[in-house]
């Protein structure tokens, strides 16, 4: 029997597993395709899974169900989310994967215990105002073409400088434990910064209050806040190269890439 995997949690967080060595139903929780969700015991860990038919295609609703199950488990335990679509062919493959990575999983749970992820989306007017440069083919080499290249490079530097300045200001104001930042340019000429902050769960209300004052203060930006979420992006960094890279699947869960305690803004064309 194949198992669809949602996340890994702490066995001690689920009293249902205290006297069981076999999978135990997680009451009132259903996952992908409406299947019953189970707690699969694995030493000190609990793998949250549901039965799965590999021939059944996953769709957008499956992604929403995947994220919902993880969010439900996050209410009870620190979790390490599996990438959407992770399936173990049988019990042996599931146990083998957990067994071979158990030390890393336990270490990651310890690092993320008591922490949550908050997500900021910030829309900033493009600092490179004016008409867009006309496209010139490379074979039209000359003064006009070279001038076009220099102007394009200048605009990219201005955008990156502005994005770094805004993300640095967010880091200073919110003082997160860790952060992930990405930046992109929209067709309407606005820059969008996606910022994920790792904070203590007990500090969520303080963070939300800080957001209210910050969004009122920054008149030149449009800010949106979501969370608290399971620490998707920070699990992703901790588990690169392992069998359990995390990736958001809910429409509201952020996506980003950066390095610990620093801001890394992507180059924009």
pLDDT digits (tens), the chain, 269 positions? 899 999 999 999 998 887 778 899 988 899 999 999 999 998 889 999 999 998 888 999 999 999 999 999 999 899 999 999 999 999 999 999 999 999 999 999 999 999 999 999 998 876 554 444 444 455 555 666 666 667 667 666 777 777 788 888 889 999 999 999 888 887 776 788 999 999 999 999 999 999 999 988 887 788 999 999 999 989 876 655 444 434 433 333 322 222 222 222 322 22
Q: How far is CA 148 from CA 37, 153, 162, 191, in A?
A: 57, 9, 21, 21
The pLDDT of residue 157 is: 73
Helix, strand, coil: what percent of the chain each, to 5? Answer: 40, 30, 35
Asked whether 54 and 86 are in contact (CB, 8 A), the reply is no
User: What pLDDT sits at residue 259?
Assistant: 26
Helices (H), the chain: 60-74, 91-112, 143-174, 204-217, 232-238
The pLDDT assigned to 239 comes to 54
**Residues of 72-84 as b/e, b for ≥16 C-beta within 10 angstroms?**
bbbeebbbbbbbb
pLDDT for the residue 152: 65
pLDDT at 28: 86
Whole-number pLDDT of residue 163: 79
Tokens 């950066």 locate to 258
**What integer pLDDT is reported at residue 90 of this predicted model?**
92
* Residue 61: Cβ-neighbour burial (10 angstroms; 0-12, 13-18, 19+): exposed
DSSP 8-state assignment for residue 83: P
Residue 104's SS3 state is: helix
Buried-exposed string 119-145: b where 16+ CB fall within 10 A, e elsewhere: bbebebebebeeeeeeeeeeeeeeeee
Cβ atoms within 10 Å of 26's Cβ, excluding its own? 23
For residue 151, the model assigns a pLDDT of 67
Question: What residues pair up with 48 in beta bridges, in sequence order?
Answer: 7, 39
Q: Residue 242 has what pLDDT?
A: 43
């Amino acid at each position: 029997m194949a198992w669809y995997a949602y996340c890994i949690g702490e066995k001690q967080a689920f009293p249902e597993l205290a006297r069981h060595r076999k999978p135990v139903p997680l009451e009132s929780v259903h996952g992908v395709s409406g299947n019953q969700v189970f707690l699969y015991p694995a030493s000190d860990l609990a793998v949250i899974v549901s039965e799965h038919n590999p021939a059944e295609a996953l769709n957008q609703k499956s992604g929403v169900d995947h994220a919902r199950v993880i969010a439900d488990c996050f209410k009870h335990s620190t979790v390490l989310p599996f990438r959407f679509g992770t399936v173990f062919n049988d019990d042996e493959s599931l146990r083998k994967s957990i067994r071979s990575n158990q030390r890393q999983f336990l270490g990651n749970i310890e690092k993320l215990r008591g922490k949550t992820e908050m997500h900021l989306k910030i829309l900033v007017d493009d600092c490179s105002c004016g008409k867009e440069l006309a496209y010139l083919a490379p074979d039209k080499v000359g003064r006009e073409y070279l001038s076009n290249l220099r102007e394009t490079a200048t605009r990219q530097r201005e955008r990156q400088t502005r994005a770094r300045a805004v993300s640095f200001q967010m880091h200073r104001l919110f003082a997160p434990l860790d952060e992930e930042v990405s930046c992109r340019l929209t067709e309407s000429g606005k820059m969008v910064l996606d910022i994920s902050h790792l904070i203590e769960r007990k500090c969520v209300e303080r963070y939300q209050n800080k957001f209210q004052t910050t969004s009122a203060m920054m008149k030149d930006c449009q800010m949106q806040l979501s969370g608290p979420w399971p620490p998707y992006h920070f699990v992703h960094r901790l588990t690169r190269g392992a069998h359990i890279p995390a990736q958001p699947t809910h429409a509201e869960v952020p996506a980003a890439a950066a390095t610990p305690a620093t801001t890394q803004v992507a180059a924009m064309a």
